[in-house]
Amino acid sequence: MSFTLGQPVPDFTALATNSTTVSLAELKGKKFVLYFYPKDNTPGCISEGEAFRDLYSEFQAADTLIFGVSRESLESHEKFRAKFEFPFELISDPDETLCQLFDVIKLKKMYGKEFMGIERSTFLIDSAGILQHEWRKVRIKGHVDDVLQAAQALT
């Protein structure tokens, strides 16, 4: 199942760190970012999380929530979040419900092996639950600045 820019995001409910349940219904009226990353405690995922952390106050000023999403367990996420002092929640998606919804599971290659994994992607959803921006095959350098600018431009 997939949807495109300018369309409402289908309702979802997911478990996140801090014993939080994240659902589209509860997020209505708020802008939010979902950034999908491959794995806790890996260099690229640390860098991306730190970039969102470092601009967190600017996202707050733009009235935009941030959620990181990967397939790791809540226990793994709690440790990752604490270690790098991320001020936002991380969503655990072990059954790939959100990953499938946003179509981020792709064939990847590493060390000559092929596998299905999360393609680093970010989505900006407006306060009405409409997908306003998507970034796929994300390169981390400068990416979070781009997301922030897009969030600031949304009213």
Q: Which residues form the catalytic set?
A: 45
Given a contact cutoff of 8 angstroms between Cβ atoms, the answer to whether 81 and 113 are in contact is no
Phi, psi of 24 (to 5 degrees): -60, -40
CB atoms within 10 A of CB 2: 9
With tokens 């604490």, the residue in question is 82
Residue 44 to residue 130: CA distance in whole angstroms: 28
